[in-house]
Amino acid sequence: EDKVVQSPLSLVVHEGDTVTLNCSYEVTNFRSLLWYKQEKKAPTFLFMLTSSGIEKKSGRLSSILDKKELSSILNITATQTGDSAIYLCAVEGYGGSQGNLIFGKGTKLSVKP
């Protein structure tokens, strides 16, 4: 059974801190790993990582895929209150059916002023 586990489940930091969020997975025939940010409504896309693209960076956010360890990290440097959100990791693996895209439970990040 495909599985995605995120840690920690929640995190409280102060503005300016650097945080690292973790995502580990067990899927059959891994295809891609996706990171999303969810504030009040629907999740918004951050990064997609695949075997051919294991590192992505956008501003203060960066992510790395470790295919050997079956995991990924999402780093946020110089955090701001606007970074407060739930961060979701999703993995697409073929498993028994193509297109199976499952999410972890998310990490709730709270950034205090």
CB atoms within 10 A of CB 106: 19
CB 10 within 8 A of CB 110: yes
34 binding another protein? (CB under 8 A)? yes
CB 112 within 8 A of CB 101: no
Q: Considering the complex, what minimum distance in angstroms separates the CB of residue 70 from another protein?
A: 18
22 binding another protein? (CB under 8 A)? no
Which of 32, 71, 75, 110 contacts another protein by CB under 8 A?
A: 32
Is 2 or 83 the residue whose CB approaches another protein more closely? 2
Question: How many residues in the shown chain lie near another protein by CB under 8 A?
Answer: 24
b/e string for 14-35 if b means 16 or more Cβ within 10 A?
eeeeebebebbbebeebbbbbb
For binding to another protein (CB under 8 A), which residues are involved?
A: 6, 9, 32, 34, 36, 41-43, 45, 48, 50, 88, 90, 92, 97-106
